[in-house]
C-alpha cells in the first residue's frame, strides 16, 4: 500500500487529485491540508510515503515546507505542483528536496505515472521479501 498526502489551498484541486490517485490499485490518500503549516503537522503525524504539494501555499513558505517534509521523512517522495512552472521555481523546489516538479495545467498526468512506478518498485521489494521468507522456511 502506497500512502499519499495531498496539500493544496484549493479544495477543488485537492478533490481532483484525490480522484486522480484513488483509481490506482495499491494507493491510498491518508490525509489532506489546505495550507503549509497544517500540511507539515499532518505529515509529521501520518508519515505518508508520497506528498503531493502545491508550490504556493498560505501559512508558510513552500520551499520551507519541502525542507520540513524532507527532514521529517527523508524517504518520502515529494511531488510539487505549480500553476507557475517557471524554471527557477522548478530548480528551487528540487534544491529544497522535492523529487518532482510539475505544471498543474499540463503535467498532472505524470503524477499517476510516478505513483505507478513507486507501486511497482514497492511490489518488487515485497516479492523479494516474500521469496526470502519462503527460502528461510
Q: How far is CA 111 from the centre of its chain?
A: 9
Share of the chain above pLDDT 90, in %: 66
Confidence of residue 129 (pLDDT cuts 50, 70, 90): very low
d(CA 102, CA 56) in angstroms, rounded, equals 13
Question: CB–CB of 44/71 below 8 Å?
Answer: no
What is the topology classification, in CATH, of domain 2-136? Answer: Rossmann fold (3.40.50)
Q: Which of 16-20, 26-30, 117-121, 123-127 has the lowest mean pLDDT?
A: 123-127
- Give how far Cα 91 sits from Cα of 4, 6, 42, 99, 101, Å: 23, 21, 26, 11, 9
Compare 110 and 135 and report the one with higher pLDDT: 110
What pLDDT does 137 receive? Answer: 53
The maximal CA–CA distance of the chain, rounded, in angstroms, is 54
Share of the chain above pLDDT 70, in %: 90
Residue 37 is placed in which grid cell? 503549516
pLDDT in tens, 76-108: 999 999 998 899 999 999 999 999 999 998 998
| pTM for the whole structure | 0.87
Amino acid at each position: 500500500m502506497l500512502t499519499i498526502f495531498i496539500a493544496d489551498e484549493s479544495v477543488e484541486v485537492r478533490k481532483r487529485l484525490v480522484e486522480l490517485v484513488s483509481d490506482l490499485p495499491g494507493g491510498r490518500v491518508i490525509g489532506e491540508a489546505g495550507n503549509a503549516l497544517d500540511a507539515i503537522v499532518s505529515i509529521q503525524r501520518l508519515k505518508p510515503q508520497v506528498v503531493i504539494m502545491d508550490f504556493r501555499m498560505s501559512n508558510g513558505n513552500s520551499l520551507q515546507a519541502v525542507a520540513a517534509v524532507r527532514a521529517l521523512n527523508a524517504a518520502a517522495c515529494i511531488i510539487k505542483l505549480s500553476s507557475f512552472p517557471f524554471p527557477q521555481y522548478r530548480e528551487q523546489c528540487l534544491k529544497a528536496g522535492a523529487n518532482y516538479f510539475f505544471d498543474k495545467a499540463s503535467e498532472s498526468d505524470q503524477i499517476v505515472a510516478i505513483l505507478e512506478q513507486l507501486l511497482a518498485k514497492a511490489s518488487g521489494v515485497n516479492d523479494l521479501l516474500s521469496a526470502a521468507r519462503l527460502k528461510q522456511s
